[in-house]
Amino acid sequence: MTDSLKIDLHMHSSASDGTFSPSETAELARTEGLCAAALTDHDTVDGVAEFIKACRAEGIEGIAGVEMSASYKKEMHIVGLFVDENNAELCEKLEKLRAARETRNRRMISLIREQGFDIGEDDILSQKHGATFANTGRAHIALAMVKKGYAKSTGDAFSKYLKKGAPCYVERETYSPEETIRIIKNAGGTAILAHPVYISESRVKLYALMSRLKEYGIDGMECYYNCFSEEYSLMCADICDELGLVRSGGSDFHGQNKPSVRMGAVSTGIVPYRLLTEIKERRGRSVWGR
């Protein structure tokens, strides 16, 4: 029965680079038929309390989460599920990352202007209520470039100017994978490697990476995502099974900043509730009604 119950353990709100408020995200989760959902905004837990409250009102299971970038040769993100959003160390570490994000955003805008594009602070901050350079990112810069006619789409903006290696990309200040996992675990969270396809499609390399991350305390990996092939999902699931790690999955929903990504939908269909049950069993307790 739990295979027919739909969940999403990777979603974003306007607290970071999504376009729906935390409460609107919860409302949409109910509309999309989810029975459980995790808010995993980038480097912030500011929207968690509002999201959890709204989930209760909507009659669905709300999960406090966060997504943190980690220092690695490729783009590595680690999702924390069931974190204590009031944990002092977590809040302190995230505040440092947001300060670094502000510096990075200003540097990227400077580089964009050096390319001859008339993009200023107001073009970025006017895109959402309460926007600052600490809670915006490349998605907002890309959208501004589209609106000004400098890119055909946000994907075009990323590909030409904002992705790693592109002329306007600026490296982020992040913690090491080991430190990132430690921060999440110290805040009571379950640490999950997000969208591993952006790191490697090689089974040998991904197995070696997950073996190392397991030594640091990683709990699992996203095996279901919006762009995984069926073969890749199966490979990730097999690696988790072999290493004794849990499987996770989610859409990486961002609202209109990723219009092709639908909440609750992954390339292989849905993320079944049984995965959440397995995560809870690993944690050793139920967190229903948090």
In this predicted structure, what is the pLDDT of residue 287? 44
Q: In this structure, what are the phi and psi dihedrals at residue 79, rounded to the nearest 5 degrees?
A: -90, 135
In this predicted structure, what is the pLDDT of residue 288? 43
- Asked whether residue 158 carries a pLDDT value surpassing 70, the answer given is yes
CB 127 within 8 A of CB 144: yes
Query: Which residue type does 52 have?
Result: I
Model confidence over 98-146: pLDDT tens digits? 899 889 999 999 999 999 999 998 998 887 777 788 778 888 899 899 9
Query: Which domains does the chain possess?
Result: 2-93+180-283 (3.20.20.140), 99-162 (1.10.150.650)
Model confidence over 220-243: pLDDT tens digits? 999 999 999 999 999 999 999 999
Q: How far apart are CA 247 and CA 225, in angstroms?
A: 11
- Asked whether residue 50 carries a pLDDT value surpassing 80, the answer given is yes
Q: Report the share of the chain in percent with pLDDT over 90.
A: 80
CA distances in angstroms from 53 to 202, 274, 289, listed in the order given: 41, 24, 10
Which DSSP helix (H) or strand (E) runs through 61? strand 61-70
- Asked whether residue 164 carries a pLDDT value surpassing 70, the answer given is yes
- Asked whether residue 286 carries a pLDDT value surpassing 60, the answer given is no
Query: From the CB of residue 104, how many other CB atoms can be counted at a distance below 10 Å?
Result: 18
In this predicted structure, what is the pLDDT of residue 289? 41
What is the residue-wise DSSP string for 24-43?
HHHHHHHHTTEEEEEE--BT
What average pLDDT does the structure give for the chain? 93
- Asked whether residue 1 carries a pLDDT value surpassing 50, the answer given is no
Contacts of 197 (CB under 8 A, 6+ apart): 225, 227, 228, 232
* Angle subtended by helix axes 88-114 and 177-186, to nearest 10: 140
Confidence of residue 75 (pLDDT cuts 50, 70, 90): confident
Mean pLDDT in residue range 78-97: 97
CA 84, chain centre distance (Å): 17
In this predicted structure, what is the pLDDT of residue 290? 44
Mean pLDDT in residue range 260-281: 94
In this predicted structure, what is the pLDDT of residue 3? 67
Residue in the block written with tokens 């969270």? 189
